[in-house]
Structure 1
Amino acid sequence: MSLQFQGLIQTFRVGDFFDILCVAVIFYFLYKQIKDTRAMALLKGLAVLLVINVISRFFDLHVVSWLLSQGMTVLLVALPVVFQPELRRALEQLGRGRLLAKKVDASEAEIESMVGEVVAAAKVMSRERIGALIVFEREVGLGEIIDTGIDIDGKVSRELLNNIFIPNTPLHDGAVVIRNNRIMAAACLLPLTQQRTLSTELGTRHRAAIGLSEQADAIVLVVSEETGKISYTYGGHIYRNLTEEKLREALRTFLDKPKSAFSFVKTWRWGK
């Protein structure tokens, strides 16, 4: 082993160092693009399949190895299609020089302040019957959703949220996406749910909120334009008729403790 190491050191060139550095930088940029999108979950699944494939080869599980090998071949062909939004966004940011943009996590105090501002805005919009759709990004990134809207990148405040959703203004249609303590974009497009059993009372806003919650771990706040009722969606389910305090508690739980969200949903059984 020592002889091999010595041989490696002797043959190592300065060009090899820059070669490794370039590859590391490329992988770092790719990771930065993927971690802010739903593709990160897919990448983790591929990593699990790769580990299982290595284990099956080590224990000579021939059938399992063959099935995984065939599956990996199909996945490699499908990857460019699956990652098309992320690849497009990476090229766009490369052209804008934004690949080195740093993502700053919000502190607990900032989250508490943001929750207070959102709840205050929702209270006003509920009273005035102003429809609203507010998305909170959590573990799964929503970069491709943000790209469908108009860039804002402003601090969350009740005044800004109320102004965005005033009827007949350029940004009132679509959703606002909040990442950490920043409103990243407005007028964003969300995927509609395909559920056939939903109540006919639920309009496009509610169906869009459910649709996104089916595809990501985001929590989506909805204010009904017709009734003024406040709801939120998570995990493909909608929880309606929230009071101010229940909304505040839900947002605190989901945004402060992402891993405990399912236990919170089990604790509060609000009407759908």
Structure 2
Amino acid sequence: MPVLEQVTTLAPMEILKNIVDVLLVWFVLYKLITIIKGTKAVQLLKGIFVILIGRYLTEWLGLKTLQWMMEEVLRWGFLAAIIIFQPELRRALEQLGRGRLFARTAMQEEEERDRLVSAFSKSVSYMAKRRIGALITIEKETGLSEYIETGIPMNSHISSELLINIFIPNTPLHDGAVIVTKNRIAAAACYLPLSESPFISKELGTRHRAALGISEVTDAVTIIVSEETGAVSLTVDGDINRHLDMDEFEKLLRISWFGSEVGQADTSLWKWGKRKNG
């Protein structure tokens, strides 16, 4: 076979260069896809693929007029793509100039974490000051689908405004827990299992018992705002940390949610919080 013969006659260094060349092309294409993901450019790219398929089909079927129209569309399509994709292209060039194009994924993850922690902190602070009761459970490794099914499906983007609105008293969704999975609000008004531990303080109500209950059977992180006192608490792995101020809350949320990535110094705060609450 001619192709096989050409491959076998290549020097090892040439083969390695070709492999690296192909891998780099795929890597660049992958990064470009991550940039346009979630934008209108995705739908436009689908339209371009449809036109390309139509072009080859018209040639195969011998539809001369339609083939000519497809060829004209493709001939001027490059210029049209530059105009249509101008915002996405500008963003990609800006990131390339800042050296961020190939580090985009890691930076996006860190930015998303900061946004989520900020959204929780703002909503919890607002509700604590006004003594609005809240119960928010964040899924980690253990799935929470059986508890999500007990609530009202939402699949919503997380924002402080939405979290606050859910727990406003006398609204349809305020009674029960909000469950967060894959960085989205999966459901609201969910039922969580109550802890049956005899060592729970008598002053803790149903929200705290539910938060402890879910932390005993899963690795989920649960945030509680007391309706009676406005106190902020957090549970994980069967432990509860109570009476947190906002700085402590943010640090402990990062530790509990993202683990060792926040650093050893902050991990000691979780241990200190457990000692503080007995």
Superposed pair shares fold, TM > 0.5: yes
Query: Do structure 1's residue 221 and structure 2's residue 226 form an aligned pair?
Result: no
Name the counterpart of 1:152. Answer: 154
Query: Do structure 1's residue 256 and structure 2's residue 271 form an aligned pair?
Result: no
Uncovered stretches (5+) of structure 2, i.e. residues with no partner = 1-107
* Separation of aligned partners in 2, 1:177 and 1:249: 20
Give the match's secondary structure for 1:222: strand
| Match runs of 1:57-96 below 5 Å | none
**For 2:126, which of 119, 124, 127 is the aligned residue?**
124
**Residue deviations 1:121-153 (CA, integer Å, cap 9, x gap):** 000000010000000111111111111110111
Contact 1:131 1:225 in 2 (8 A): yes
**Residue deviations 1:2-26 (CA, integer Å, cap 9, x gap):** xxxxxxxxxxxxxxxxxxxxxxxxx
Contact 1:231 1:241 in 2 (8 A): yes
Give the match's secondary structure for 1:233: strand
Name the counterpart of 1:208. Answer: 210
Name the counterpart of 1:37. Answer: none
Per-residue deviation, 1:258: 6.4
Per-residue deviation, 1:253: 1.6
* Separation of aligned partners in 2, 1:122 and 1:167: 15
Query: Do structure 1's residue 271 and structure 2's residue 273 form an aligned pair?
Result: no
Give the counterpart letter for 1:250 in structure 2: L
Structure 2 length-normalised TM: 0.57
Give the CA RMSD over aligned residues. Answer: 2.2
Per-residue deviation, 1:203: 0.3
* Separation of aligned partners in 1, 2:144 and 2:260: 16
Structure 1 length-normalised TM: 0.58
Give the counterpart letter for 1:139 in structure 2: E
* Separation of aligned partners in 2, 1:194 and 1:108: 37
Give the counterpart letter for 2:187 in structure 1: A
**For 2:192, which of 190, 193, 198 is the aligned residue?**
190
Q: Which runs of 4+ in 1 moved over 4 A?
A: 258-264
* Separation of aligned partners in 2, 1:271 and 1:180: 31
Contact 2:151 2:191 in 1 (8 A): yes
* Separation of aligned partners in 2, 1:257 and 1:236: 16
Aligned length: 168
Give the counterpart letter for 1:200 in structure 2: K
Per-residue deviation, 1:267: 4.7
Per-residue deviation, 1:197: 1.9
Name the counterpart of 2:43. Answer: none
* Separation of aligned partners in 1, 2:201 and 2:183: 33
Contact 1:133 1:209 in 2 (8 A): yes
* Separation of aligned partners in 1, 2:260 and 2:151: 25
Name the counterpart of 2:138. Answer: 136
Give the match's secondary structure for 1:166: coil
Give the match's secondary structure for 1:178: strand
* Separation of aligned partners in 1, 2:272 and 2:140: 20
| Match runs of 1:5-84 below 5 Å | none
